Chain A
């Protein structure tokens, strides 16, 4: 158990050189070794999605991966969404639509939605519901999370179009 690997986790563009046991989960490494506690642990077996982060752009359950598997990959977490004090569109939509109560599942939903909308900006409402059903929330009954996600889908689409037009 004293055997440790040297790895580098790149989280929100910042490199963290850490030494971890091979069995250390990615979420523990993100939280405990890199100090980014915004990513939460809800079930440790990949069902609830509270630990969802983006790994090279794709949403993953960071409780189901070992830290060593993320060596050298680009990780994005909830801490990377806002620009300084300015919330991004999705964060603002969650606030406007009351898409969070206790806030524990929120980082997972934010990263899930971010990952999906970046990859599939034209996602249909039904497909969006399908994706959102992969995470659990115990407070909101989901209605307002769906509203926030739908509201921002349009915004992100427009943003993307504007960017590609440049």
Chain B
């Protein structure tokens, strides 16, 4: 049975292994928020403002309260003691008065704003009762455009809570020295992540243990636990959050919203479990929106198309309140706009403007989908103006690999931007080779000559990932040799259980299928930062490697004593401590070592009980993956519809833990990017009434709108900031889609700079076609 030669370790990292997550999800045994119920639960239904802006004069709940089975109706007066929801990221001075309270207080500021909540024995009944709650609202004029001068939020406060200013270098001197100045006004529409599972929150209070539990948590359970505890005046130890399965995150799901706090407060005060499941219309008007910005940008260039300076004014449409992300999105847009290019002088002023629309937060590649569109449009405009090849202009401006690490002299998310590693020109070459660029151009030229409106576009980008400042992981082995990794990270469907298990498997020497990865539970681990900013594989992954390595050292040390073999000759392979230099010989399973370390074991010899270890990884810098997108599009002259025929994403991820999952992330992100570039848009009428309130109005790509997406995963620039070289993969698929498709449409129209606004809907494209005919 023993192998003939020394046993070799199975490699997990780098392999496209099947996911550990899949089985319950494929068999209908998932536990999404709506699947969680507790005996005696009440159902909450939120009464929402039907006006975009107005004075709230009164609320009449008498008819609702008269329905048998309705237990309570709450309004602002009932929760006046609970403070507004605070900021999680990118807090800056002066934003506090603009935070959202649990219910509209005095004024309503967007259609969908919670005004009251009904608690009833049955969800159908709760909905009936909510319809009987009448609101007396005196309508006020709605502010709907961020690019117009600010108005009044409340007496003494304007609708411009902040201006984010970033920059470096001598911008004005750059413009004075310019050979040419290129300008553009570019807009990005209002989109959002729109996960297929709507939000849900189920709270229960166990008076026997004085413990408040919130189920249906996602993304950032520990932070949310601390906030809920603070808002409700409880100790953090008496509040726990539980993440079940999460039906998509994308930045939007899992932030604290009024409804999360309401179910907790109601569970405490009404002494019954409270269940709230959002419906789709609510989701589309109440959960975070994102993206909407207008950029008025200028670039100073020399005669060869080298950029001397960029100056950008950003008008960020934040919606009605400052939510948990504070100024994260405009901050990232301003900080990441320079992308992969060497820009000697830079200035970006982002005007954060409140409008009477749904408040905004992050959505996959926040600030980068927007600023990549702007920057790459600008590169195309420079090329057109100087009559240069767009790819050549990009090459001339790219930061060279020898210049790494490259300090950007900008900061974001509390970190200085230092591009840690990258060979941008090398990846551009690989991407162009992958699509056979010269041949592609030729074939498109032939088709154009035959009357087809086809074109190709290229866009480059730098992503960011691995936001710290810390992550904690605990690993334990039970007496059967099963391993549990406990992390404060969260799963939003991206496959972290598999990825973390793969990393642990290699570092410890066990099969990844024997590893249980526990996450999203504040009762199992003290600290955790959750899942956002493409941080989990980098931060949790490295903390896992550290913990698993420490555990392995411990196991070998015990085994060395018990097997009377020098520790240097031992290794852990498939969960057994064995001699690494021989095929046979004494061995000991991790389970047996755990038994030897049991608290009452005579073999423990004074060591701390249990086979377990803890790992901490601290990092003050993000790292910077990067990529190239290439799109080929075809325009239908009659309908103005754009078909994406083909798409390539080349992405350098530093080190790929599971290429299959990375490809999945990239293709999925690309689909969302295509949605945001061609289809998706939250529209409002002149009174601020939302027009995109169903999936028949807010159009997301189906399989039919998706081109074949080729993904080229590269590992040419491992991050020097962690030993495995890891960078994140969650957002690179979405980042540059708007930019690449815009360039491809320009090319198809043979009009440079034609596309100035996303999404490029058939209506907008027809307008371009008409103006072309006139000119």
Q: In chain A between 71 and 123, which residues have their CB closer than 8 angstroms to a CB of chain B? A: 77-79, 81-82, 87, 91, 94-96, 98, 100-107, 110
From B125, B197, B667, B700, A102 is in contact (CB under 8 Å) with B197
CB-CB under 8 A from A105, the residues of chain B are 196, 247
Q: In the complex, A138 Cα to B280 Cα: how many Å?
A: 14
Whether B704 lies near A129 (C-beta < 8 A) is yes
Report if B449 contacts A (CB, 8 A): no
Whether A103 lies near B245 (C-beta < 8 A) is yes
Q: In chain A between 9 and 43, which residues have their CB closer than 8 angstroms to a CB of chain B? A: 21, 23-24, 31, 36-43
CB-CB under 8 A from A129, the residues of chain B are 703-704
Q: Which residue of A lies closest to B283 (CB)?
A: A43
Whether B18 lies near A31 (C-beta < 8 A) is no
Number of A residues, CB within 8 Å of B: 55
Q: In chain B between 640 and 667, which residues have their CB closer than 8 angstroms to a CB of chain A? A: 660-661, 663-664, 667
CB-CB under 8 A from B29, the residues of chain A are 38, 79
CB-CB under 8 A from A101, the residues of chain B are 248, 493-495, 664, 668
Assuming the A-B contacts A133-B704, A138-B672, A139-B248, are A79 and B667 also in contact, with contact meaning beta carbons closer than 8 angstroms in the complex?
Answer: no
Interface centre among A78, A81, A145, by most chain B C-beta atoms within 10 angstroms, is: A78
Whether B670 lies near A141 (C-beta < 8 A) is yes
- Closest Cβ of chain A to B726, distance in Å, is 20
- Closest Cβ of chain B to A135, distance in Å, is 8
CB-CB under 8 A from A37, the residues of chain B are 28, 32, 34-35
CB-CB under 8 A from A31, the residues of chain B are 34-35
Report if B684 contacts A (CB, 8 A): no
Interface of A is mostly: loop
Interface centre among A31, A94, A96, A103, by most chain B C-beta atoms within 10 angstroms, is: A103
Whether B34 lies near A103 (C-beta < 8 A) is no
Whether A95 lies near B493 (C-beta < 8 A) is no
- Closest Cβ of chain B to A96, distance in Å, is 7
CB-CB under 8 A from A151, the residues of chain B are none
Whether A81 lies near B703 (C-beta < 8 A) is no
- Closest Cβ of chain A to B340, distance in Å, is 24
Report if B246 contacts A (CB, 8 A): yes
Q: Which residue of A lies closest to B665 (CB)?
A: A101
- Closest Cβ of chain B to A138, distance in Å, is 5
Whether B32 lies near A47 (C-beta < 8 A) is no
From A42, A82, A140, B27 is in contact (CB under 8 Å) with A82
Q: In the complex, A142 Cα to B18 Cα: how many Å?
A: 18
Report if B450 contacts A (CB, 8 A): no
Report if B128 contacts A (CB, 8 A): yes
Whether B32 lies near A40 (C-beta < 8 A) is yes
* Chain A 135-163 near chain B by CB (<8 Å), digits 1 or 0: 11111111111100000000000000000
- Closest Cβ of chain B to A25, distance in Å, is 10
Assuming the A-B contacts A42-B197, A138-B672, are A95 and B696 also in contact, with contact meaning beta carbons closer than 8 angstroms in the complex?
Answer: no
Q: In the complex, A94 Cα to B25 Cα: how many Å?
A: 10
Whether B30 lies near A103 (C-beta < 8 A) is yes
CB-CB under 8 A from B125, the residues of chain A are 1
CB-CB under 8 A from B242, the residues of chain A are none
- Closest Cβ of chain B to A65, distance in Å, is 16
Q: In the complex, A79 Cα to B280 Cα: how many Å?
A: 25
Report if B702 contacts A (CB, 8 A): yes
Interface centre among A40, A81, A110, A129, by most chain B C-beta atoms within 10 angstroms, is: A40
Assuming the A-B contacts A101-B494, A106-B25, are A143 and B247 also in contact, with contact meaning beta carbons closer than 8 angstroms in the complex?
Answer: no
Q: In the complex, A136 Cα to B246 Cα: how many Å?
A: 16
Q: In the complex, A129 Cα to B291 Cα: how many Å?
A: 30
Whether A143 lies near B28 (C-beta < 8 A) is no
* Chain B 24-58 near chain A by CB (<8 Å), digits 1 or 0: 11111110101100000000000000000000000
Assuming the A-B contacts A94-B26, A103-B493, are A144 and B667 also in contact, with contact meaning beta carbons closer than 8 angstroms in the complex?
Answer: yes
Q: In the complex, A47 Cα to B28 Cα: how many Å?
A: 21
Whether B703 lies near A102 (C-beta < 8 A) is no
Whether B668 lies near A95 (C-beta < 8 A) is no
Q: In the complex, A106 Cα to B128 Cα: how many Å?
A: 31
Report if A130 contacts B (CB, 8 A): yes
CB-CB under 8 A from B703, the residues of chain A are 129, 132-133, 142, 145-146
Q: In the complex, A125 Cα to B128 Cα: how many Å?
A: 45
Whether B671 lies near A141 (C-beta < 8 A) is yes
Whether A143 lies near B25 (C-beta < 8 A) is no
Assuming the A-B contacts A95-B22, A133-B702, A138-B196, are A45 and B280 also in contact, with contact meaning beta carbons closer than 8 angstroms in the complex?
Answer: yes
- Closest Cβ of chain B to A156, distance in Å, is 17
- Closest Cβ of chain B to A132, distance in Å, is 5
Whether A44 lies near B18 (C-beta < 8 A) is no
* Chain B 679-697 near chain A by CB (<8 Å), digits 1 or 0: 0000000000000001110
Q: In the complex, A95 Cα to B695 Cα: how many Å?
A: 28
Whether A136 lies near B702 (C-beta < 8 A) is yes
CB-CB under 8 A from A48, the residues of chain B are 196, 695
Whether B196 lies near A42 (C-beta < 8 A) is yes
Report if A50 contacts B (CB, 8 A): yes
Q: In the complex, A129 Cα to B664 Cα: how many Å?
A: 19
From B19, B280, B669, B733, A42 is in contact (CB under 8 Å) with B280
From A38, A41, A81, A104, B248 is in contact (CB under 8 Å) with A104
Q: In the complex, A141 Cα to B34 Cα: how many Å?
A: 24
CB-CB under 8 A from A102, the residues of chain B are 25, 195-197, 245-249, 492-493
CB-CB under 8 A from A44, the residues of chain B are 279-280
Q: Which residue of B lies closest to A38 (CB)?
A: B28
Q: In the complex, A136 Cα to B709 Cα: how many Å?
A: 18
CB-CB under 8 A from A45, the residues of chain B are 280, 694-696
- Closest Cβ of chain A to B712, distance in Å, is 15
Whether B26 lies near A41 (C-beta < 8 A) is no
Q: In the complex, A103 Cα to B709 Cα: how many Å?
A: 21
Whether B248 lies near A43 (C-beta < 8 A) is no
Assuming the A-B contacts A1-B125, A41-B34, A47-B694, are A136 and B26 also in contact, with contact meaning beta carbons closer than 8 angstroms in the complex?
Answer: no
CB-CB under 8 A from B721, the residues of chain A are none
CB-CB under 8 A from B198, the residues of chain A are 42
- Closest Cβ of chain A to B327, distance in Å, is 27
Whether A136 lies near B196 (C-beta < 8 A) is yes
Interface centre among B128, B663, B733, by most chain A C-beta atoms within 10 angstroms, is: B663
Report if B194 contacts A (CB, 8 A): yes
From A98, A130, A135, A136, B664 is in contact (CB under 8 Å) with A98
CB-CB under 8 A from B248, the residues of chain A are 101-102, 104, 138-139
CB-CB under 8 A from B193, the residues of chain A are 138
Whether A141 lies near B668 (C-beta < 8 A) is yes
Q: Which residue of A lies closest to B34 (CB)?
A: A41
CB-CB under 8 A from B733, the residues of chain A are 141
Q: Which residue of B lies closest to A140 (CB)?
A: B668
With A37-B28, A107-B28, A143-B667 already in contact, 7 other A-B pairs whose C-beta atoms are closer than 8 Å: A44-B280, A45-B696, A100-B26, A129-B704, A138-B248, A139-B196, A141-B709
A-B contact pairs, 10 of them (CB 8 A): A48-B695, A87-B27, A91-B26, A100-B25, A101-B248, A102-B492, A103-B26, A104-B493, A132-B703, A133-B703
Instruction: Rank and list the top 8 A-B pairs by shortest CB-CB distance, nearest first.
Output: A38-B28, A102-B493, A103-B25, A104-B247, A141-B671, A47-B695, A141-B667, A78-B28
Binding site for B on A (CB under 8 A): 1, 21, 23-24, 31, 36-45, 47-48, 50, 77-79, 81-82, 87, 91, 94-96, 98, 100-107, 110, 129-130, 132-146
